[in-house]
Structure 1
Amino acid sequence: MTALRETFNEDAELYDRARPRYPPALVAELARVAGLGPDSRVLEIGPGTGQLTLPVAELGCHVTAVELGDAMAAVARRRLREHPRAEVRVAEFESWPLPEEPFDLVVCATAFHWIDPGVRMVKAARALRPGGRLALVRTEHVAGGTEEFFARVQECYERWDPATPPGLRPLPASQIPAGTAEAAGSPYFERVTAARFTQDITYSTDQYLDVLLTYSNHRALGEAARRGLLACIRNLVDNEFAGSVTKRYLHELVVATRVAE
């Protein structure tokens, strides 16, 4: 897992350009539930290049973002340069020493699964004041958009990636289980809530291939297999879908309250 999570740092500019931003409604809900304002202290785990960090910083919060990759952190700092209350630290969250002053919010967007499961919940709890919030954002590709494309592209994956399950299809959002179990099962948190947001993004062929190259499983393929897979997908989008496909994302915001000691 460590090697895979480090692949994102290999091309931080591509990651920043290609990865989707979070829906404004999700950011607004996060701000509402966590009561964010100019005096709020926020710790972000794994900010990447700042897809969520920037809108949180725009609320005037004091943000400390802990990012494993130095290249990713450099891009995030550039995006945050107009927000002096936001800082990015290059460190592994699991070993990063927590400051003495606790945070009002610990947030992690589409990265919590990369953090050691034996550490993440307890350390997030230790970082928070009693009554503070833990907010986790999970992102899934779900059924919708150009559905015929996602059915047919399976042939490319089955040819070039032997780990692909046969007949794989995106599930409808309604069939994606809620991501509340870990927080609900933790003795450190209570009052777990979840809110869901979807967005459709239309990509040109090049834009869609760029998105794929930000996924760890695509980057982990051997060079020949990756070239073959991307060429197959390019041919399909260009020749059968007029150079454009739409992908539907599901973003789930899970918020839990730190138990008072």
Structure 2
Amino acid sequence: MPGENPAGRGRYGESLFEPAHPREAERIDDAAVVYDPVTTHRLRALGAGPGLRCLEVGAGTGTVARWLLREAGVDEVVALDRDTGALEGAEDPGLRVVTADLTDEGLDLGTFDLIHARFVLMHLPERRRVLARLAGLLNPGGRILLGDAVELPDRLDTASAYRRTMDAMWEALRETIGTDIAHIAAYPRFLREEGLVEVAAELYCPPLTPGGPLARFWSQTWRRMRPELEATGRVDAATVDVALAQLDSPHLAALAPGMLLAWGRRA
């Protein structure tokens, strides 16, 4: 199907970014600090509130799932992830934690009034098929919100350590676990192809400030991926060191990858 990429035989959480790593929850939460306000604003605009049954795909440390329950007041959240260790012991009424693989064809979750998946489909080689499956879980009138990374690189900057390391990262992710952001801009079209209506999208590019939560996220990501980065041949150890230093430098001047949000409603 369109949007599939056969590269990468590994899996997120196994080949890279193991949940048991002592700083993995911290890395995820650094990204959540940046992206949660944008995500929850859009979820609220899409009608997140009492009376809804919601699916949170790739629940991570549970920041969005808890917001849906505590702030939006939805009735139930099914928090789905392949590793739910960060959600163990959660006592929020209405929270159902499901440890499962989204790509498992035998997985039966029921249907939902609201589905959210952020930074999940981009890491799945079968992303187009999974998108269709998620759209098929919507109740009549139900809405889906998808968020994934997009790049707006400075085409005049091809030699800086930051740019070379970021490019090496995307190549390493594609080759290792099949990550592909080339088709993210097609999400609105894919949602229309699944018969959804009121389809729209927006792009958020967060500021990349020295030592800020997003800089910390990329720093941790690159440190964890150093062998894979250098294996691409795009960067060596010295280049990665310079790029990491740039993330803490007052001279940092770069546009971080953005997040495309796409949504639609089941008629």
The residue number in structure 1 matching 2:3 is none
Is 1:192 the counterpart of 2:199 in the alignment?
A: yes
Pair 41,219 (structure 1): closer, same or farther in 2 beyond 3 Å: farther
More strand by share: 1
**Secondary structure in 2 matching 1:84:** coil
The residue number in structure 1 matching 2:264 is 256
Over the aligned positions, Cα root-mean-square deviation in angstroms equals 4.0
CA shift, 1:64, in A, is 0.6
Residues 46-74 of structure 1 show CA distances to partners (whole Å, capped at 9, x for unaligned) of 12223433332331221111112x2xx22
Work out the percentage of aligned pairs sharing the same amino acid.
19
Residues 222-247 of structure 1 show CA distances to partners (whole Å, capped at 9, x for unaligned) of 77877544323234556xx4486665
Is 1:133 the counterpart of 2:146 in the alignment?
A: no
Contact 1:104/1:128 (CA < 8 Å) preserved in 2?
A: yes
- TM-score, with normalisation over the residues of structure 2? 0.68
Residue pairs, 1:170-249, within 5 angstroms:
177=185, 179-186=187-194, 188-204=195-211, 208=215, 210-214=217-221, 218=225, 221=228, 227-236=237-246, 241-242=249-250, 247-249=255-257
Aligned length: 236
The residue number in structure 1 matching 2:160 is 152
Distance 1:233 1:205 in 2: 15
Mean alpha-carbon deviation: is it higher for 103-112 or for 225-234?
225-234
Distance 1:52 1:8 in 2: 20
Residues 146-188 of structure 1 show CA distances to partners (whole Å, capped at 9, x for unaligned) of x999862257549988x59xxxxxxxxxxx94641211222x4
Contact 2:219/2:244 (CA < 8 Å) preserved in 1?
A: no
CA shift, 1:28, in A, is 2.1
Residues 208-260 of structure 1 show CA distances to partners (whole Å, capped at 9, x for unaligned) of 3652433699366177877544323234556xx4486665453322111124x
Residue pairs, 1:13-92, within 5 angstroms:
13-21=25-33, 22-33=35-46, 35-58=47-70, 59-61=72-74, 62-68=76-82, 70=83, 73-77=84-88, 81=90, 83-92=92-101
Pair 53,118 (structure 1): closer, same or farther in 2 beyond 3 Å: same
CA shift, 1:105, in A, is 0.9
- TM-score, with normalisation over the residues of structure 1? 0.70
What runs of 5+ residues in structure 1 fail to find an aligned partner? 165-175
What runs of 5+ residues in structure 2 fail to find an aligned partner? 1-7, 173-183
**Secondary structure in 2 matching 1:87:** strand
Distance 2:115 2:138 in 1: 7
Distance 1:216 1:179 in 2: 30
CA shift, 1:89, in A, is 1.6
